[in-house]
Amino acid sequence: MESESQTRGTVTDLLPYLDAPPLRALLALTLAHPTAERLEAVCIWYRTDPSSRLLGYQSKGVLIGCLCLELSHPGDAIIRAIAVAPFARRKGIGSHLLQQSIATFSLTRLVAKTDRDAVEFYRRCGFTIASLGERYPGVERFLCSWARE
């Protein structure tokens, strides 16, 4: 993962801002078929599930990335969603969010289930990748795992 010195933004807790349009726009990017109803259901889950954490990356006061974790056990987390605004991708923001979450929550293990589009991102961040097979017609899913060595 990229070093903190290569990024120029701040990571903040986004749970108090779930109704903010910039956050809703980022969260919509994490949904396969975004609708107002699905987005609202996701926000309700983030708001009410005590294991969920939602971090955001801001640069110059503009929210450009978010990461939702489910803290499943002490030191373990499941990545439920990660998104970076299209104009800001491939600049280390996603990997910075991962690094910050590892530090903030003292994580020793992270896992994510994803599609082919995100596999290389996770591989570059040091995750191991395993196919879960075709989970939906024509859609292969992958388990991405990271553990502190």
Residues 8, 12: Cα–Cα separation, whole Å: 13
| pLDDT band at residue 134 under the 50/70/90 scheme | confident
- Is it the case that residue 6 has pLDDT exceeding 50? no
Residues 122, 132: Cα–Cα separation, whole Å: 15
Q: What is the pTM of this model?
A: 0.85
Other Cβ atoms less than 10 A from the Cβ of 8: the count is 11
Q: Token pair for residue 27?
A: 């969260």
Other Cβ atoms less than 10 A from the Cβ of 71: the count is 17
Residues 55, 11: Cα–Cα separation, whole Å: 6
Q: Domains for the chain: give ranges and CATH numbers.
A: 4-110 (3.40.630.30)
pLDDT digits (tens, 9 = 90+) for 50-67: 999 999 999 888 899 999
pLDDT attached to residue 4: 38
Distances (CA, A) of 87 to 24, 33, 64, 91, 146: 17, 21, 9, 10, 27
pLDDT attached to residue 9: 75
Q: Decide: helix, strand or coil at residue 75.
A: coil
pLDDT attached to residue 96: 93
Residues 22, 18: Cα–Cα separation, whole Å: 9
